[in-house]
Amino acid sequence: MRGRYSTLALAPALALAAGCFTGTFAAGHPCQSDADCGPQLECVDGYCDGQRPADESATTDGGSSTTGAATTAAPTTDAATAATTTAATSAGATTGSPFLCDKLDVLVIFDTSASMNQWDDRVLVLANSFINFATPLLDAVGSYHIGVVPVSQLNEDPPECEIPGGLWVDTAQGPLCAAYESKPYMDEGDPFDVLNLGCLLRVDGGADDEQPMRYMLEAVSNELNAPGGCNEGFIRKDALLVVMLLTDEDDDHDDEQGNAGSPGDPQFWYEKLLFYKNGNDDAIVFGALLGEDPLDSKCPWTLPDDKSEATESTVLSIGAEEGVRVRQFLDRLPVGHAYVSSICDASYVDFFEQFFEEIVTDACEDFDPLDTDPMVPDPTDGAAP
């Protein structure tokens, strides 16, 4: 999706989720001059707005509870950098490639509905930390693409590429983001900094019918990634696909609000994604923050009487709906390729830091782009999805 956001929906800072953000998302990022801090902040004592990273972490409850493929504590940044470098060197010695893996496509999918506003503070801290923990891995791969897709359509009759699965770019920022008008994603030729990330992450709020699986499948589809398509060149058949998903609602049919959800079921979603990746299930890695079982949840899902996520009632939607069907989809991925935790966690940084430094790094090191099955069927053929 390109170029449209409402200033009325702007959150106080960078949001990978429902809201939007202003230039203040650079707060706490290392800097050498005011230009490194965007249009609103100054570089003070080597950090944007004078905020050191420790100042931000002190504002959260701290800690996170993770489940899924990896359960060990995240290593320190220095240790993770050394481990990634060592792995890349080892891979080069055995395969002849100087890289941990040659190609990496990172797709960020996030819920843009009103209920996600309650997590803005945690998403802000994650966004400020993303460059720090992702850089070691990205430096170890030959080529990378990073793109962003909201999970609900912003307009009922979208023009051009404002369609389900279309990569988002905030072209309203003018010359700053002009490079992404024809290529709506970041690659290794672009500076990996907060200003460039802001072109992809400054996203408007959307409707309340969250369809993350539909939007994911559209984003990686052959049609949108073909020459002339809205996402032309973003998804590469021989690249490791890394998906970061943040949503506080399940992708279910006929939910409490009467939403339809994504077409198909978890098995269909898996088979369709496998088809787009040429039958190579090791080419898919997922890190997801979802709602928990309501009996064990730290933030059970509650809707007001009118079932609206954005209501004039004094009772707003709070908490997170259990991600039952999304988890069923993730269960179909190979062991070690799906890493899940709770959207209710006090911080998202440790989760995604460990996801990149362990899960993605291991998958990248082991990835074989030639391990494909050209005979894998398209599950859509002959039947409605």
Query: In CATH, what is the architecture of 7-26+101-366?
Result: 3-Layer(aba) Sandwich (3.40)
- Encode pLDDT of 312-370 as tens digits: 444 455 777 888 999 999 999 999 999 999 999 999 999 999 999 999 999 999 999 99
Q: Where do the structural domains in the chain lie, given as residue ranges?
A: 7-26+101-366
| Range name among 17-21, 266-270, 340-344, 379-383 with the lowest pLDDT average | 17-21
Token representation of residue 326: 């999304």
- Encode pLDDT of 113-128 as tens digits: 777 778 788 888 898 8
| Range name among 23-27, 144-148, 212-216 with the lowest pLDDT average | 23-27
| Range name among 9-23, 98-112, 218-232 with the lowest pLDDT average | 9-23
DSSP letters for 61-75: -----EEES--SPPP
- Residue 18 has a pLDDT of 37
Q: How many CA atoms lie within 13 A of 170 on its CB side?
A: 22
Residue 373, pLDDT > 50, answer yes
Q: Residue 207: which residues within 8 A CB-CB, separation 6 or more?
A: 113, 152, 153, 154
- Residue 57 has a pLDDT of 37
- Encode pLDDT of 46-55 as tens digits: 776 777 654 4
d(C-alpha 96, C-alpha 244), whole Å: 30
Helix (H) / strand (E) containing 287: strand 284-290
Report the 3 state secondary structure along 14-45: CCCCCCECCHHHHCCCECCCHHHHCCCCCEEC
Q: What is the mean pLDDT of the chain?
A: 76
Residue 240: strand pairing partners: 104
CA dihedral 244, 130, 280, 376 (to 10 degrees): 30
d(C-alpha 158, C-alpha 164), whole Å: 9
